[in-house]
Structure 1
Amino acid sequence: MNQPSTLSPRNGDIERPASDRNVTPAMERQTLTPAQLQERSIISNSLAPRPEVNAFRDLRTRLQATADGHNFVTLVTAVSPGSGASYVCRNLAAAFAFHDTRSAMVLDCNPYHPSQHTTMRIEPVRGGLTDYLRDPETDLGDIVYETGVPRLRLIPAGSPDEFGGEYFSSFRMHLLLDTLRNRYPARYLLLDGPPVSSGPDARILSDLADIVVLVAGYGRDSPAAIAQAAANFDPNKFAGVVFNQGV
């Protein structure tokens, strides 16, 4: 697996109540085995010491320390394509879900090159984020998928659409995040955004987030490119840079 560096800052399932059918996933998945987790590049909460697991636990703890005990929305975005933001986003979410009183949800917000459902081996037969945002008749519960990791859910990117990231600034997107966040106070939302260099979508998504984590490819993205990417975000939201060793 890839291993992120320590973040360098610049400055029993919780999915309840069961009666709330609007956010209850329609299909349950069996819990993944350690071998299956490794195949999907997802860390596991095992007793054996593993540097990459500790790195994500440390990152999680640092972010939680800035939030005064409240849940929050985190945007994870890369400096450039191939830097490993999706890997970092997925495993940071897994680290949040380690504790049996917390849960996490990944929203794949990269409609141009979605990857989370493929990596997690989930077939989004009921659609995903773009389907929900463009169709008011789509039910929220239809686009929430079990991942096989306890307390970790996925909303895949959805069907390709010519408007792509334009949906991110819509009222329906704001309402979606408010609903997901407020209904479960112990749930952490992570947005897997497009790279900063690909266009304005990462900056648009940052307006929806409480925290922004920037992923740089170790030995891949230059200091100048990292600084230019970081300048797109509100300094009060920008948590720092994760240097990802590999793709």
Structure 2
Amino acid sequence: MSIIEKAASRIDNKKGEAQGAPAGAARQADSLPPAPPAPPAAVPDAATPTAAASAPAPAAAPLHAPRRTTNHVELDLERMHGIGLVTAAGGRTTLVEDFRIIKRPLLKRAFAARAPGEKPGNLIMVTSSLPGEGKTFCSINLAMSIAMELDHTVLLIDADVARPSVLRTLGLPAHRGLMDLLLDDKLDMSDVMLRTNVNTLSILPAGSNNPRATELLASQAMSTFVYEIANRYPDRIVIFDSPPLLLTSEAHVLASHMGQIALVVEAEGTTQHAVKESLRQLEGCSNVNLIYNKTREFPGTETYDYHYG
């Protein structure tokens, strides 16, 4: 081969190398030893796991870690103030001051040391003798007042499963809740609990109507549920809006789980006989208190008072 031909051959080989395909590579491929396999990261293949797929899976969350709910509702605070409910933006009204007085002894007892076997003081049931005496109104106002505290959160539970009225009073649509939770062991409380735009207040609706409501409230599932909500968060107050005592049997069953009970008595409405019968049904329950409501000190005004029974 002449010098010119050798030079031309070198130029062709350099051009091939610059393009990633050496000029003589195709002709010499059969005579070369097989190249070692490339590492998986350099030669991705459908059968070869990628770095992301082969990375170890994250550790599973603890079995008892609370799950955050995605259910969020907006309370119309202006509407609530307009219908006479306690709101933080409502100013220092007589109603706000009344419920500040009512909540203070309840809070004090809620976190006091308790004797062995005593029910948790942070479980508070609000009930009445008969419908129409203002128990739901008092339940919501008490919850809103406690939610204004700096050191506590509140869970308001509509336990009047036959005639639920908490969501309706707040202008909210019906939602799954307590009864669904007790019936379906696959449901978690976070699936049915409603967080609100009042950061320290959550709501658990009554849920689906069920003819076996009394048995469900007396079940082991209810006992487990009550223990969990009483002990999961140390700063939480749980308020149950209960059915009336003299109308259904659910209230008496519910009372057996409670650490404190507030019986709403309507001024000039609830008879003395009804109050005595309600207190008789609550015999054996510790810390029974009375909220004497709708008293009229001046024409057109209503106030609330609080007494220990």
Q: Which residue of 2 aligns with 1:57?
A: 100
| Residue 257 of structure 2, aligned match among 208, 212, 224 | 208
Q: Which residue of 1 aligns with 2:214?
A: 165
| Residue 148 of structure 2, aligned match among 98, 113, 122 | 98
1:43-122 correspondence to structure 2 within 5 Å: 43-46=86-89, 48-69=91-112, 72-122=122-172
Q: Which residue of 2 aligns with 1:186?
A: 235
Shift of 1:237: 1.9
Q: Is contact 1:80-1:216 (8 Å) kept?
A: no
Q: Which residue of 1 aligns with 2:69?
A: 25
Q: Which residue of 2 aligns with 1:123?
A: 173
Q: Which residue of 1 aligns with 2:46?
A: none
Shift of 1:63: 1.3
| Residue 190 of structure 2, aligned match among 127, 134, 141 | 141
One-letter amino acid of the counterpart of residue 143, structure 1 = V
Matched, 1:242 2:291: yes
Question: What residue ranges of structure 1 are gaps of 5+ in the alignment?
Answer: 1-18
- 1:114-133 per-position Cα deviation (integer Å, ceiling 9, x unaligned): 001111233344x1110110
One-letter amino acid of the counterpart of residue 87, structure 1 = F
Q: Which residue of 2 aligns with 1:38?
A: 81
Looking at structure 2, the residues matched to 49 and 104 of structure 1 have their Cα atoms a distance apart, in angstroms, of 21
Shift of 1:201: 1.6
Q: Percent identity?
A: 22
Looking at structure 2, the residues matched to 45 and 207 of structure 1 have their Cα atoms a distance apart, in angstroms, of 33
Shift of 1:102: 0.9
- 1:157-215 per-position Cα deviation (integer Å, ceiling 9, x unaligned): 00111112321111111111211121111000011111011122211111100001101
| Residue 155 of structure 1, aligned match among 201, 204, 212 | 204
TM-score, scaled to structure 2: 0.67
Alignment root-mean-square deviation, CA: 2.3
Change (3 A) 1:40 1:186: farther
Looking at structure 1, the residues matched to 155 and 110 of structure 2 have their Cα atoms a distance apart, in angstroms, of 17
> What is the number of equivalent residue pairs in this alignment?
226
Q: Which of structures 1 and 2 has the bigger CA Rg?
A: 2
